[in-house]
Amino acid sequence: MGTRFSEIQDGHAKFIAAQRLFFVATAASAGRINLSPKGMDSLRVLGPRRVVWLNVTGSGNETSAHVQRDPRITLMFCAFEGSPRILRIYGMARAVHRADTEWAVLSAHFPSLAGARQIFDVTIELVQTSCGMAVPLFDYVGERTDLSEWAAQQGDEGLRRYWSERNEVSLDGLPTHVSERSGAAR
């Protein structure tokens, strides 16, 4: 049986910081549910009811499309080493883009990552922990550098072109992000 909390406790924050991988789930009111793995030292706990994560370029941009229509989000952390544990954060997210005034303040919490495209700012409504005894143990071997190397090779203009060609529309045809120039959905 899971245990519920209204906010992140100190032990939760330490557990979250120790995880090298987490999962993000979102859904618009209709269409597909998206579930994505995340890593790359891209998540920070900013307080007991707030986390942010730096989202880098990927093959899609479903999370951005979804939170514009329905800000509900779930983050899940699993212990793949040590004692079994699962921690879920349920909350409401909003996307902060490079042209937004908050970008500079929030991006300062993260290492510089090539291909960074949004920061998701999550207000926490519920934290739930459960045992995780069925989650297998895995040995951490290291970080993959493929995405960072690819994004660095693209450069700023190449990334903008990739976003325009590949990240503008979700799988369900929803616009994925706010235009940096006009503030309107593209």
185 inside domain: no
Instruction: For 104-167, list the strands marked E by DSSP.
Output: 116-130
β-sheet bridge partners, residue 166? none
pLDDT (tens, 9 = 90+) of the chain, 186 residues, equals 689 999 999 999 999 999 999 999 999 988 899 999 999 999 999 999 999 999 998 888 999 999 999 999 999 999 999 999 999 999 999 999 989 999 999 999 999 988 999 999 999 999 999 999 999 999 999 999 999 999 999 999 999 899 888 888 999 999 887 444 333 333
DSSP code of residue 136: P
121 inside domain: yes
- Output the domain CATH number for residue 136: 2.30.110.10
Q: Give the global pTM.
A: 0.89
Number of domains in the chain: 1
87 inside domain: yes
Whose CA is closest to 148, among 184, 179, 121, 110? 110
177 inside domain: no
